[in-house]
Amino acid sequence: MTESLLALVPTYGLPFIFGISVIAAAGVPLSSSLTLLAAGAFIASGELDVAPAFLWALAGAVIGDQIGFQIGLRAGSAIEVRLNRNPSRALKIQRSKRFIGRFGGVGVFLTRWLTPPIGPATNVVCGAGDMRWLRFTVWDFAGEAIWVGLYIGLGYTVRGNIEEVAGTLGDISWFLIAGLVTVVLGYRILTVFRKHSQKAGK
């Protein structure tokens, strides 16, 4: 897959980076992270310019997120029922709900770059929920700016080992999701325990 991307990125350039970013953010299972790593590698070799690549990728990611938000807004229940038929997608939906329920707009920001595997599901969850469009968009834009810069920068730095780095980052992302869920659940259990102890002491 890496070899194909390395061939397509310089051949089709910025429109290819934009298109992959839109499609992946909208929920299609394509590796936008790998595409950005490849873009970073070609920036390092002088075949792409950093500013246009960053802006095209950022625009694509934000537009893709907006598509997911609008899908959730207009057909949230039906889309969720359909996604829940697939166990892996159902798991992402449930994780997204817990994450956004706990962190709100900051959760959107974090799922852009810290826990990107649940990013597309989060777009639908936010649209189907009660999150305001402006709040979603502001946090989304900030998070995507970090994500695009992070992956292009990594591609620039580790251009000889792109696929290995992409796999490692994916594993780290799922580890962070599990860690954050554990922290949130632990905090809630501790809060309930303290309240129960206080009531018992009265």
Q: Which amino acid is at 87?
A: P
- Considering only CA atoms, which of 126, 96, 98, 97 is closest in space to residue 111? 96
Distance CA 21, CA 148 (A): 10
Split at pLDDT 50, 70, 90, the class of 172 is very low
Q: Is 193 left (phi over 0), alpha (psi -120 to 50) or beta?
A: alpha
pLDDT digits (tens, 9 = 90+) for 109-158: 989 988 888 899 899 999 988 799 999 999 999 999 999 998 898 888 87
Residue 170 has pLDDT above 90, yes or no: no
Q: What range does the domain containing 136 cover?
A: 2-201
pLDDT at 202 (0 to 100): 53
pLDDT digits (tens, 9 = 90+) for 95-121: 888 889 888 999 999 899 888 888 998
pLDDT at 142 (0 to 100): 95
Q: Average of pLDDT values for 66-77?
A: 89
Residue 1 has pLDDT above 70, yes or no: no
> How many structural domains compose the chain?
1
